[in-house]
A and B are shown apart, each in its own frame.
Chain A
Amino acid sequence: MQIRFPLLAVPVPLIVLRPLRVPMMGQVVHAGFPSPADDFIESMIDLNEVLIKNPTATFLWRVVGDCMVDVKIFPGDVVVVDRSRTPKHRSIVVAIIDGEATLKRLHRRAGRLFLHNENAKLPVFTVSEGVEVSIWGVVTATIRDLDK
């Protein structure tokens, strides 16, 4: 039995609230005969399964800064941010520093937390005395269009 795959996946607009379903084995158009692939119509790859583990606590942010370019997070990228994750040593996080949202690498040394840029061209990042810092959420993935 030969199962034919569609040549091109149908482009689907990606809306975060709507699970994106990419057909794996789609219905192939036959004249007159039912497709043997019809039985597999339920087999779908859901990108949300990979990108979003906890939908309730997951938000998308658009990257505008260049502080993480050395780890290949570029302006224009979308980052997936999960608020249910506990930030750990070396987590990439959305940090709120003096009210500004920014991407940073979290480091834990001798029981203290530090935030770093991942961009050798930028000066070493330091937080001045008295400036309020909080962690908004942990970055779990990036999304980038490679064919813009």
Chain B
Amino acid sequence: MNGQPLGLALVDGNSFYCSCERVFDGKLEKRPVIVLSNNDGCAVARTSEAKALGIRMGQPMFQILDLCRDNKVAVFASNYALYGDMSRRMNQIYERFSPDVEIYSIDESFIDVSKLALKDRTAWASDLRSTTRQLTGIPTCVGIGPTKTLAKLANKAAKKLPAGVLDLSNPAEQLRVMADFPIGDVWGIGQASQAKLLAQGIQYAGQLRDMDPKLARQIMTVVGERIVHELNGRPCIALETVAPQRKGCAVTRSFGQRVTQKVEMEQAVAGYATRLGEKLRRHGLATDHVTVFMHTSQFSDDEPQRNVSTTVDIPEATNDSLTLIKAARRAVDRLWQSGFRYSKAGIITQDLVTPPIPQRALFDTLDHEKAARVMAAMDEANRRWGRATVVPAATMGDPAKSQTFSTKFEMRSPRFTTRWEELPEC
């Protein structure tokens, strides 16, 4: 995104994974639906009906077995191939509405709306929302604000509105909504920061906005200071500074020059995979799959168009850059086709997990720098002597894993949009 945009929209899918399941199964429309993480069987997406039953985000399935049976809750394992394909379609629609789309996660994208007149923004967002619903079946909400933090906040508040759209371009509106917006829901405020702020008597976003930035820095480091600036409408948060959420993160770039050669694409995507590995390692997270997408520019009407994505599974959750690169390369192999001028590519993961215990102990007891050195040494050894020469103990064969692996696929819905054998039936 160029410079400091004066208006940003954050659009996200409502209960995104659950909504994807509902698109292809009309019987789910009235039932509560939840989707579980594949690695540890925790609820990672819930429809409003499931939330109303008291099912919490991240709650393990074993705690809610009876509740789900008694209330006929439809329970699914994560279907990354389906969610990745639906996400690709949604972002393609967003790019028709504005060329500047930044994919933040599998179901969240920032869209630059600076060029839109203030009075047109709400109507624009409603149009985006209804078009997305019509073409993909996925319901969304749109929040607009002068900074990413305010756009996130507007999006969160929009979830409670029937229109599903909230424009906080206007400072008076910002004040009104922030007055009773809990700080725990502000983007970037984790549980630790929340506790510290509550101890200072700061409960609502409005109070945090009025806090002295220097004090915010004392309490919550430079991240807190930036949040205060952002709440005041001064953009200063780069995406990179915000920890990837459990639900996933993305590394995507528009190419400076169109990519026409496979080797260039491989290099670019390997670069994103490396960056993704760094991000995951920095936050002690891991993933068991990557979704890679690439597309041409929709604004070059005279050129052949192509927009594709694919998801590659990794047998064990990892944050090892080399494994991620290998998976990303395989994705490029599947997707690549010459004769197109690609303008953008990226890599997305969903459902991040904390790596298995031995590795977590390593990262918990060492500081980040040391952990990075271990990883770097490992990467170097692997580069020199071949892949998997040195691997974290946790990624070696785990006998318990084969069992989780089989249960993994029992509850997964068909890959409706990416497999001939699994098309929906009519």
Complex Cα spacing A57 to B92, Å: 10
Tell me the chain B residues, 370-426 only, with Cβ under 8 Å from chain A. 416-418, 420, 423-426
| Cβ–Cβ contact A78 & B307, under 8 A | no
Interface of B is mostly: mixed
> How near does chain A come to B235, taking the closest CB pair, in angstroms?
30
A83 proximity list for chain B (CB < 8 A)? 134-137
| Cβ–Cβ contact B85 & A101, under 8 A | no
Tell me the chain A residues, 50-91 only, with Cβ under 8 Å from chain B. 54-57, 59-65, 78-79, 83-84
Q: A19-B306, A99-B27 are in contact. Are A57 and B135 (CB under 8 A)?
A: yes
Check: A115 CB closer than 8 A to any chain B CB: no
Q: Which of B136, B309, B425 is the one whose CB lies under 8 Å from A101?
A: B425
Interface size for chain A: under 10, 10 to 19, 20 to 34, or 35 or more residues?
20 to 34
Complex Cα spacing A95 to B339, Å: 38
Tell me the chain A residues, 2-21 only, with Cβ under 8 Å from chain B. 14-19, 21
Complex Cα spacing A80 to B256, Å: 36
Q: A17-B309, A57-B136, A60-B423 are in contact. Are A101 and B337 (CB under 8 A)?
A: no
Complex Cα spacing A64 to B337, Å: 33
Complex Cα spacing A21 to B416, Å: 23
Check: B162 CB closer than 8 A to any chain A CB: no
| Cβ–Cβ contact A55 & B307, under 8 A | yes
> How near does chain B come to A45, taking the closest CB pair, in angstroms?
13
| Cβ–Cβ contact A59 & B417, under 8 A | yes
A18 proximity list for chain B (CB < 8 A)? 308, 334-335, 337
Tell me the chain B residues, 1-50 only, with Cβ under 8 Å from chain A. 25-29
B135 proximity list for chain A (CB < 8 A)? 54, 56-57, 83-84
Complex Cα spacing A50 to B178, Å: 51
B134, B339, B418, B426 — most chain A CB neighbours (10 Å): B426
